[in-house]
Amino acid sequence: MPTFDALLRDLRVKTSEIDAATLSTELANGKHPAVIDVREADEHVQGMIPGTVHIVRGFLEQRIERAVPDREAPVVVYCASGTRSMLAARSLAELGYTNVRSLAGGFTGWKRAGLPWEQPRALRADQEARYSRHTLIPEVGIAGQLKLLESKVLCIGAGGLGSPSSMYLAAAGVGTLGMIDDDVVDASNLQRQILHGTDRVGVPKVDSAETTLRGLNPDVKVDKHRTRITAANALELIAPYDVVIDGADNFATRYLVNDSALRLGKPVIHASIFRFEGQITVFPGNGSPCYRCLYPSPPPAEEAPSCAEAGVLGVLPGIMGVLQATEAIKILLGLGNTLAGRLLVYDALATKFRELKLRRDPKCPTCGDGVDRSAIPLIDYEQFCAGPAPGRSKH
């Protein structure tokens, strides 16, 4: 059995190293090797090389693929002094990474060379407690929680779907929630719209939503948009957000949200509910497939069901809205497989989920072949919508 010193000597011969000055030059010249800090969390919080991804040595093998999916991409690993990073480099080589270098002298050497470093952002003490069940999940961690806190999600409608989705996103610490709704709370909403309460009947829904969401989590900023989304304001409303949750109950809004989001390259999490059945899918940020791949144009007004007349089991939007919030968090954190290209149908009476494959339609008017997405026309379809005017009654 070789001693540790012998092992290190052997590794030093086999591992390519990079010195701090060379790494600094590579980073400055726009060559961007993935720089991975393999130190422990308490070392990392003291300071890091700017742009670093932190993966503690003990989780390196498990998490490297998510950080660096391409095994041929250049990777530089560092620790405090350059020893643990050499062991880490060996592990990465064993996993098939072909271009791994270990930072000679580690972070200590980097600082000694007078090169810039920074304090990683951290959660406040109260946030550490609040989000501990998130940060304990390796796939989320502190970095994921910080990402959520910086994220912005727009909920179209503060109604049946917007209630559970916004409440769970607020609880999860999504830092900014935009709520679009021009309506006031009505007694008939309370059977399912759990953002609101009996004492808020008559209050604008966006105000009621803000009270509930900020009460749940004061970290959350609520952007109140007491308006209807129209062709005139859609781009401006959607542009500041990372993800759109479509909780609209009418065709006019769904088409408008689809078309505007495609122009802006924003992902839309679409859901709809009817009596005992819910549907959900994701129209991804790259746009395909989209809502118009499913329904190229709106149905004639007389065929369009109106939510006010349709009726819905009160818990159903709860389930679908929570699924929407789940997809939003996955998109924000880059986790798992979203429902893009899949329509999930929930039958509450049978307690069954079915899945239908959605395909991009090459002839789709908004995401088909040759369509210039930046020039997609925005249309107000009000005349096609049966029942109340769009935006008046959310699920």
Nearest residue (CB) to Zn ion, 169 versus 340: 340
Question: Is residue 364 close enough to count as binding Zn ion by CB under 5 A?
Answer: yes
Contact at 8 Å (CB) between 283 and 359? no
Q: Which is nearer to Zn ion, 153 or 293 (CB)?
A: 293
Taking the complex as a whole, how short is the minimal distance between the CB of residue 229 and Zn ion, in angstroms?
Answer: 19
Segments in 35-186 forming alpha helices (H): 41-44, 60-67, 84-94, 106-112, 125-130, 132-135, 141-150, 162-172
Alpha helices in 278-315 (DSSP H): 291-294, 307-310
| AA identity, residue 373 | R
Minimum Å gap between C-beta 236 and Zn ion is 23
Instruction: For Zn ion, give the closer residue by CB, 290 or 333.
Output: 290
How many chain residues interact with Zn ion (CB under 5 A)?
5
The angle, 0 to 180 degrees and rounded to 10, between the axes of the packed helices 316-333 and 141-150 is 110
Q: Which of residues 80-139 bind Zn ion (CB under 5 A)?
A: none
Enumerate the β-bridge partners of residue 282. 269, 340
Is residue 367 involved in binding Zn ion (CB under 5 A)? yes
- Least gap, CB of 290 to Zn ion (angstroms): 3
Query: Least CB distance from residue 381 to Zn ion, whole Å?
Result: 16
Q: Report the residue number, 34 or 293, with the smaller CB distance to Zn ion.
A: 293
Tell the smallest beta-carbon distance from residue 365 to Zn ion (Å).
8
Residue 110 to residue 18: CA distance in whole angstroms = 11
Least Å from the CB of residue 178 to Zn ion: 24
Output 123 or 290, the one with its CB closest to Zn ion.
290
Q: Which stretch binds Zn ion (CB under 5 A): 80-88, 139-147, 234-242, 367-375?
A: 367-375
Q: Show contacts with Zn ion in window 283-322 (CB under 5 A).
A: 290, 292-293
Instruction: Determine, following the binding rule CB under 5 A, whether residue 263 of this chain makes contact with Zn ion.
Output: no
134 vs 292 by CB, closer to Zn ion: 292
Nearest to Zn ion of 76, 293 (CB atom): 293
Cα–Cα separations (whole angstroms), residue 32 to 43, 70, 74, 175, 351: 23, 13, 8, 29, 49
Nearest to 175 by CA among 123, 133, 237: 123
Question: Which positions touch Zn ion (CB under 5 A)?
Answer: 290, 292-293, 364, 367
